[in-house]
Structure 1
Amino acid sequence: MNWRVKAHLLAVLSRLPAGRQAYHRLQRVAGTNRLDLAGEMGRALEIVQLIQRSGRPLENADCLEVGTGWRPFVPFVLSLCGAGRVTTLDVNPWLSERYARETHAALESVLDDIAAQSGQPLADVRRRWSAGQNTGDLAGLLDAMRVEYRYPGDARATGLPDSSIDLIVSSNVLEHIPRDVLAAIHHESVRILKPGGCAVHRFNPGDHFAVVDPEITTANFVQFSSRAWHWYGGSGLAYHNRLRAPEYERLFQSAGLEMNLFQTRVDERALRAICDGELPVHQEFARFEPEQLAVDYIWAIGQKPDAQEMPRAQPQTAVRSSDAAHPEPVQ
């Protein structure tokens, strides 16, 4: 599909009174919301790996997820790994009982993988999963899985007590949040994290339209001004903030988070398009190096200060990949 077709469709639907509902119906018809167990599990276990890399214990931890999305894979997996309680919040009402139950049922087939990654006894993982069976409604299922769902939820003002959270996580969320809102979220994160607590995020700063159009790269949107991009993806259903890696890192640091990890991956195809002049770079992005413009994945661990016992990784590492579909953090 030509990316502009999808961009125009989403832009129009975003501006119609019932556009979001229509978009959801189209997604159901097209099957784009179909459960992808391998992909969802890969992303959830990647969060677990990052938590382990942070050195912050997950067992009995109080966790907050920013951006629940359609399916509660991350909170369910964290719970199965032994988290004490997971609060997940979203500004959108995507989560439904149907998707939550579908997610819970699918996880039964991968309990061995969860146990292996977490180091938890399989019997304990299975016991935690079994608690979610035969629950009456969505609230009952979530409570049995030790998950609290908040909608509408505002990650800038969670209402949680100071220094009450061990871990804050998100997966493929930060790129969809405006810069000023991100800054406020990180400041709130520092407020609610316990000393030594960590904010663990994995996200895709590349042009998402590249998923549907193989003719463009993940750096496609750097050719547009803010004004031109506003129609395509600067507002509405397709919103993407287009921030580059140095901007994300500064936002973490400006809030007071110490970066234990800030790992980027460069999309080689996008880099070639920029360096060869095939992809023009708008003046708004001229201050960035080509490698910074071509970053298509970021893994970040930010720690609230005052915990000398926490190990430190290199603050900035980078990997190269021409395959944007399978992000893998350096182990």
Structure 2
Amino acid sequence: MHWRAKGVLQKVLGHVPGGERAHYLLQRRFGGLRDFRREFDIKMDDWRLMAGHLQAAGRPIAGARLFEIGSGWYPTFPFACYLGGARQVITVDLNRHIKPELVRDCAQHLARHVALIAEACGVPEDDVRQRQQQLAARLRQGDDVGIATDGVVRYEAPADASRTALPGQQVDCVFSNSVLEHVLPDVVDGIYREAMRILAPGGIMFHSVNCGDHYAYVDRRINQLNYLQYSDRQWRQWDNAFLYQNRMRAYEFVDRAVEAGFDIVLNTECPREKRLAELANMKVHPQFAHIPAERLCVTSIDFIGRKRAQAAS
């Protein structure tokens, strides 16, 4: 599908009654959700990487109090954290996107990843398997996410991650996966400020950001730097409620975290030769011309910011 056509279609669906439902059905029939197993396994690989980063930063998932930004259609990360022994996982979304049928599928597919979760979290495999079987059974009988996880996972939507009702200094880790690239820049700053408030001293904020042009996943004629050819005014023709992309570069997410008071303890920003070559063969819009090529070309980043132990809430 041509990327411009998809952008226009999604823009239209974002402004008509029933558009959200129609968008979901199109994703199930033609989009990323048509092969749920593949989509789910990709998310679990992302979760595995996050679990490793948290472990290396001294904040293992087992026993942790976690706050996820961007629940999506099904709660892969919260469920995996629950199976791995998290104390609490609060997951929030600005809009209520969660789909019961996908939640059940998610719980069922976790059975294939029991050993991975146990290893990543350092907990007994039998405990993970028992929790997974209980979770899947309870969801099948109609329990909601909270009841099915004995209150460990709490889903809240609509909810604003930049203005929560949580008490200060009560969370060990705030995290997101492929979310911040879809948030207005000012809201990113608000999310960071709120994370600083709710994190306990020494707590961490982990974000995995996919800051490449997402239309490249549906149109192989373009690459993930495609959207850098357009001004903000031009890009608004294809930006839409279902696939808003802020076009912030990887380093900007980290710089804004530093400005919010976080100490950066992980930063995977790395220019790839492939992206540098793609950038050299395209005409970048002047609004991006001030950014060095080795920073402009980066299309993904994982980073961790730590709240100082002596920092105030």
Match of 1:50, as an amino acid? H
Question: What does residue 70 of structure 1 align with?
Answer: 73
Question: What does residue 263 of structure 1 align with?
Answer: 268
- Structure 1 stretch displaced more, 134-143 or 258-267: 134-143
Q: Quick one: distance in 1 between partners of 2:270 and 2:6? A: 26
1:304 to 1:207, Cα distance in 2 relative to 1, 3 A = same
Select 2:132's aligned residue among 113, 118, 129. Answer: 129
Question: What does residue 188 of structure 2 align with?
Answer: 182
- After TM superposition, the score normalised by the length of structure 2 is 0.92
How big is the shift at 1:114?
1.2
Given that 1:267 and 1:296 are in contact with CA atoms closer than 8 Å, whether structure 2 keeps it comes out as: no
- Structure 1 stretch displaced more, 262-271 or 237-246: 262-271
Aligned counterparts, 1:24-103, within 5 A: 24-30=24-30, 32-33=32-33, 34-35=35-36, 36=38, 37-103=40-106
Secondary structure in structure 1 of the residue aligned to 2:94: coil
Q: Quick one: distance in 2 between partners of 1:191 and 1:3? A: 39
Given that 2:70 and 2:91 are in contact with CA atoms closer than 8 Å, whether structure 1 keeps it comes out as: yes
Q: Quick one: distance in 2 between partners of 1:24 and 1:146? A: 28
Q: Quick one: distance in 1 between partners of 2:310 and 2:50? A: 21
How big is the shift at 1:58?
2.1
Q: Number of aligned pairs? A: 305
Q: Give CA deviations for 1:161-191 in whole Å, capped at 9, x if unaligned.
A: 1100001111110100010000000000000
Task: Kindly report structure 1 stretches of 4+ aligned residues shifted beyond 6 Å.
Answer: none
How big is the shift at 1:307?
6.7
- Structure 1 stretch displaced more, 26-35 or 76-85: 26-35
1:298 aligns with 2:310: no
1:105 aligns with 2:111: no
Given that 1:132 and 1:144 are in contact with CA atoms closer than 8 Å, whether structure 2 keeps it comes out as: no
Q: Quick one: distance in 1 between partners of 2:267 and 2:111? A: 33
How big is the shift at 1:38?
2.0
Question: What does residue 9 of structure 2 align with?
Answer: 9
Match of 1:236, as an amino acid? A
1:209 to 1:73, Cα distance in 2 relative to 1, 3 A = same
- Structure 1 stretch displaced more, 139-148 or 91-100: 139-148
Question: What does residue 200 of structure 1 align with?
Answer: 206
Aligned counterparts, 1:278-293, within 5 A: 278-293=281-296
Aligned counterparts, 1:201-220, within 5 A: 201-220=207-226
Match of 1:193, as an amino acid? L
Given that 2:182 and 2:244 are in contact with CA atoms closer than 8 Å, whether structure 1 keeps it comes out as: yes
- Structure 1 stretch displaced more, 94-103 or 11-20: 11-20
How big is the shift at 1:133?
4.0
Q: Quick one: distance in 1 between partners of 2:75 and 2:11? A: 27
Q: Quick one: distance in 2 between partners of 1:107 and 1:143? A: 14
Q: Quick one: distance in 2 between partners of 1:25 and 1:68? A: 18
Unaligned runs of 5+ in 2: none
Given that 1:86 and 1:147 are in contact with CA atoms closer than 8 Å, whether structure 2 keeps it comes out as: yes
1:115 aligns with 2:121: no
Aligned counterparts, 1:141-180, within 5 A: 141-144=147-150, 146-180=152-186
1:282 to 1:27, Cα distance in 2 relative to 1, 3 A = same
Q: Give CA deviations for 1:93-138 in whole Å, capped at 9, x if unaligned.
A: 2112211111111111210111122221112212322331432322
Q: Quick one: distance in 2 between partners of 1:109 and 1:18? A: 35
Q: Quick one: distance in 2 between partners of 1:229 and 1:45? A: 34
Given that 2:118 and 2:124 are in contact with CA atoms closer than 8 Å, whether structure 1 keeps it comes out as: yes
1:215 to 1:266, Cα distance in 2 relative to 1, 3 A = farther
How big is the shift at 1:150?
0.2
Q: Give CA deviations for 1:232-261 in whole Å, capped at 9, x if unaligned.
A: 12x422200000122111211111111111
1:223 to 1:44, Cα distance in 2 relative to 1, 3 A = same
Given that 2:73 and 2:99 are in contact with CA atoms closer than 8 Å, whether structure 1 keeps it comes out as: yes
Given that 2:146 and 2:155 are in contact with CA atoms closer than 8 Å, whether structure 1 keeps it comes out as: no
CA-based RMSD of the aligned residues comes to 1.8
- After TM superposition, the score normalised by the length of structure 1 is 0.87
Secondary structure in structure 2 of the residue aligned to 1:157: coil
Match of 1:18, as an amino acid? G
